Amino acid sequence: MTIFCAMTAQRGRKSKLSKIKLLDRHLIDKIAAGEVVERPASVVKELLENAIDAGSTYLEIEIRNGGIDYIQVSDNGAGIEEGDLVMAFARHATSKLETEDDLLSIESMGFRGEALSSIAAVSQVELHSNAGDGGHCIRVEGGQMVSCQAAPVPPGTTVIVRNLFYNTPARRKFLKSSVTEGNHVYDTVVRLALTHPEISFCFRNEHRQVFMTSGNGDLWEVALAIFGRDFSRRLLDVQLQYGDIMVSGLIGRPDLTRKNRKGQIFAVNSRVVRNPMLSASLEDAYRGMLLSQERPVGIIFLTIPPEQVDVNVHPQKTEVRFSDEKTVYMALKTAVRQELLKIANPDTAGERYPHHEQTSEVGTSFSSPHITHSNDYRAQPVVSGDLLLFDAPDDGTPSIKVYGQWQDSYLICEIDGDLGIIDQHAAHERLLYNHLKENSAERLSQELAVPVAVELPPDLLMLVESRRESLAELGYHLDKLGERTVVVRSMPTITVGGEVEALIEILDAWRDQLPAGEAVLDSGLKILACKGAVKAGQRLEEREITELIGRWVVTENRNFCPHGRPVCYTINRTEMDRLLKR
Ligand code: ADP
Ligand code: MG
């Protein structure tokens, strides 16, 4: 029945396809606009790239209602001469590419000549520019020029884009809330500001300054201006010449991680690109240092001879192809790994980077108060020789013998006669998660004798107010102090030493989520449990192993960590005999 209906519907539609006509120019522009302009953030990206191409040293960005109603980008660059104003809005009009050969070595951000025409096709644009000829203003709405006249303005260019998608309601419907669109704009400005430390960026949202970078060329200062001290002091310099590839930038220490790849910014020949191979290479360099769901942070610049890179893959120009992927992969991985190994060996780290304050914070210690001081688990350990034994209470709890720790990461045991290999991090994570749920995280919160000040990036700072209740439920009580800082008055006791990272990670996870009660709280609990748990690679004392296993063996859902990964691998005698062909 359904199939029949679908077929008739299709036949009915077919008659519409019979005549082939050329599309009119405005329609072509609107379709092309769809490829370049997806949302306010794409407009901001194109306008900023134009301003950067124009040699600007100072850029101002202002948005209202997430950029949907209003976007303004002002620069102090070369400007557009009166005679070129109309041409700048024509499709495929560009001053940056002349011959086909130029396509092979693109050094400007723009080159397709599509942005201004695409933006103007779906909004109301006003462009003021002064290329040293006094200044002019052109207005274009829905692709039609409304006016073009002399108007004195300072040198440079200002573009104002109003009412995005006002004439394409179908596209406007796809826009998300102004907060989400504003976050996308923020991400875009941040990416460009970080990849252009030599340019000063000033970003305002609803008339309030979000951040301003100095433009003095120091990448670390840009990171400081945008993300604040607590983030920036965990960054390390990277620099390596690898054949004809130059790798430079900043990477996060292994204790600065995200749950997604948003903290990974790559610029190839100064162009921000997205490329899974680059992320894979960066992550490969951290192998063994992070948990499986943790993603490293990095702002990486790759300078590669232009003829080895193709950026003309997609209209948004964020995709990139390399003629020699393998070498690029190795260059990045080697550069990053080399720095990480230096901090693993503290003798050689630190002094090279005097502006990076060394932190005394170490990974979360195992001795979370509620574990060391608590004896409320039922399986009581009996220590016999080198073996730790847990006598099973007769309620189905397995009996466990612990033989020891392997590679500071796994606990090797006998569980009800089978050989068991327990992932110490996953087991502890499950324990802490259950503990937080059962006792309500808020009750486990501890007031700090000396409140801690934490600098947060502006997008996360916003959440401190809007998610105040959820934060309190997790045990975080904090107040905003000034433009960049929060004061933490109490926090969950579970994250000894890791409370700031946990807070940032929780806010980061919440940033793009809708306010859905349970799920929001649960994602926070998982992060707390993860941060509070012992890590792989951490040597445990016998006493700690005893407590961990003793508590784990009686905890609910013990075979899976809160993220659903298995905690324990077991193999029985028969399987082992078969494996060894006995
Ligand atoms: P593209 O950047 O690919 O050349 P655009 O449509 O973005 O195409 O811009 C068209 C042309 O308008 C550019 O080539 C440049 O000459 C001019 N232009 C646009 N924005 C600016 C600006 N902010 N300053 C100076 N020139 C600009
Ligand atoms: Mg452009």
pLDDT tens string 106-157:
667 776 788 999 999 999 999 999 999 899 999 999 999 999 999 999 999 9
Write down the pLDDT at residue 514. 64
Among the ranges given (361-365, 379-383, 488-492), the one the predictor scored with the smallest mean pLDDT: 361-365
Greater confidence (371 vs 343) lies with 343
Lowest mean pLDDT: which of 22-36, 119-133, 537-551, 555-569?
22-36
Q: How far is CA 444 from CA 426, 439, 472, 490, in A?
A: 21, 7, 11, 10
Q: Probe ligand 1: pick from 44, 53, 92, 153, max atoms within 8 Å of CB?
A: 53
Average of per-residue pLDDT across 246-264: 91
Q: Which atom of ligand 1 is nearest to the CA of 119?
A: 6
Q: Does the beta carbon of 95 sit less than 6 angstroms from any atom of ligand 1?
A: yes
DSSP 36-69: H-SSHHHHHHHHHHHHHHTT-SEEEEEEEGGGTS
Say if residue 578's pLDDT is above 90. yes
The mean per-residue pLDDT over the stretch 204-223 comes to: 94
**Does 3 score more than 50 pLDDT?**
no
CA of 188 to the centre of ligand 1 (A): 19
Instruction: Find out whether the beta carbon of 51 lies less than 6 Å from any atom of ligand 1.
Output: yes
pLDDT tens-place string over residues 283-330: 999 988 887 778 999 999 999 998 899 877 676 778 899 999 999 999
- Higher pLDDT: 340 or 29? It is 340
What is the rounded average pLDDT of the residues 409-435?
93
Q: Is the CB of 60 under 6 A from ligand 1?
A: no
The closest ligand to the CA of 88 turns out to be 1
Nearest alpha carbon, ligand 1 atom 12: 88
Q: Is residue 51 within 8 Å of 44, Cβ to Cβ?
A: no
State whether the beta carbon of 140 lies less than 6 angstroms from ligand 1: no
DSSP assigned state of 560: B
Cα 564 to Cα 554: distance, rounded to the nearest angstrom: 18
Q: Is the CB of 527 under 6 A from ligand 1?
A: no
**pTM, entire model:** 0.73
The CATH classification number of 25-98+108-212 equals: 3.30.565.10
Average pLDDT, the chain: 83
- Residue-wise DSSP of 238-279: EEEEETTEEEEEEEE-TT-EESSGGGEEEEETTEEE--HHHH
Q: What was the pLDDT predicted at 9?
A: 39
Residues 198-220 have a mean pLDDT of 95
* 3-class secondary-structure state, position 148: strand
Nearest-atom number in ligand 1 for the CA of 117 is: 6
| CATH (one of 3.30.70.2740, 3.40.30.10, 3.30.230.10, 3.30.1180.10) for 234-348 | 3.30.230.10
Structure tokens belonging to residue 129: 């520019």
For residues 489-508, average pLDDT: 80
Of 164, 188, 167, the C-alpha closest to 176 is 164
pLDDT digit string, tens, across residues 344-378: 765 544 433 334 333 333 333 333 333 332 333 34
Give the sign of the dihedral formed by CA 509, CA 510, CA 511, CA 514. Answer: positive
Does 42 sit in the ligand 1 pocket, CB within 6 Å? no
CA–CA separation, 463 and 459 (whole Å): 7
CATH number, domain 362-582: 3.30.1540.20
**234 versus 97: which is more confidently predicted?**
234
Q: Which residues pair with 381 in a beta bridge?
A: 390
Q: What is the DSSP string of 497-512?
A: TTHHHHHHHHHHHHTT
Relative to the CA of 116, which ligand 1 atom is closest? 6
Q: Are 448 and 496 in contact (CB under 8 A)?
A: no
Does residue 113 line the site of ligand 1, with CB under 6 A? yes
According to the model, what pLDDT value does residue 465 have? Answer: 85
Q: State whether the beta carbon of 131 lies less than 6 angstroms from ligand 1.
A: no
CB of 112 closer than 6 A to ligand 1?
yes
Name the residue of 89, 94, 103 to mutate for ligand 1: max ligand atoms within 8 A of Cβ: 94
Find out whether the beta carbon of 97 lies less than 6 Å from any atom of ligand 1. no
* Residue appearing with tokens 């840009």: 222
CA dist 136 and 83 (Å) reads 10
Phi, psi of 381 (to 5 degrees): -75, 145
513-525 pLDDT, tens digit per residue, is 666 667 888 888 9
Judge whether 25-98+108-212 and 234-348 match in fold: no
**Minimum-distance ligand to the CA of 132?**
1
Task: Please write the tens of the pLDDT for every residue from 164-199.
Answer: 999 999 889 889 888 889 999 999 999 999 999 999
Task: Decide: 74 in ligand 1 pocket, CB within 6 A.
Answer: no
Q: Choose among 174, 209, 162: nearest CA to 67.
A: 162
Give the residue extent of every domain in the chain: 25-98+108-212, 234-348, 362-582
DSSP 572: -
Q: How far is the CA of 535 from the centre of ligand 2 (A)?
A: 47
Ligand 1 atom closest to 49 (CA)? 2
